């Protein structure tokens, strides 16, 4: 079974091959925002694939469009709701800027 390590928490999980990355995180109590419920209708589940990027399914046009909306887009950016896990991954969850002063 593929292993995923999430940064910055350091959480490591094993998941069945073919599992969606967002589901793998949520099933293992790893917090990733997902305002649209994993339907590729927002960009809140944006992550950086530090290792294993080339093992993921090809990016769809819808995902490319949604990634245009993210802050700090990088070459290894993906939406967790669109990534099917087939091998080991190292995933960095970007820190979100606080929306409100009370969140600081």
Residue 72 belongs to some domain of the structure:
yes
- Using CA atoms, how far residue 7 sits from 31, 46, 76, in Å, is 11, 13, 14
Considering only the C-alpha atoms of the chain, give the largest distance between any 2 of them, rounded to a whole number of Å: 42
Instruction: Identify the band that residue 97 occupies on the pLDDT scale cut at 50, 70 and 90.
Output: low
Question: Strands of 77-79's sheet, edge to edge?
Answer: 12-14, 3-7, 89-92, 46-51, 77-79
> Quick one: pLDDT band at residue 26, thresholds 50, 70, 90?
very high
Average pLDDT in the 47-73 region?
96
CATH (domain of 55):
3.10.20.30
Domain assignment of residue 102, yes or no: no
- Position 57 in a domain: yes
User: Between 101 and 40, where is the model more confident?
Assistant: 40
Question: Could you tell me the residue range of the domain that residue 16 belongs to?
Answer: 3-95
pLDDT one-digit tens code per residue, 48-57:
999 999 999 9
Query: What integer pLDDT is reported at residue 96 of this predicted model?
Result: 75
The reported pTM is 0.90
pLDDT at site 4: 98
């Amino acid at each position: 079974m593929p292993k995923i390590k999430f940064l910055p928490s350091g959480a490591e999980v094993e998941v069945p091959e073919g599992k969606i990355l967002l589901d793998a995180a949520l099933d293992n109590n790893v917090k990733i925002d997902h305002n649209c419920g994993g339907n590729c209708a927002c960009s809140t589940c944006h992550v950086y694939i530090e290792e294993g990027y080339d093992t993921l399914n090809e990016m769809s046009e819808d995902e490319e469009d949604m990634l245009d909306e993210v802050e700090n887009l990088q070459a290894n950016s993906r939406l967790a709701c669109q990534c099917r896990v087939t091998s080991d991954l190292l995933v960095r969850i970007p820190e979100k800027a606080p929306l409100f002063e009370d969140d600081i």
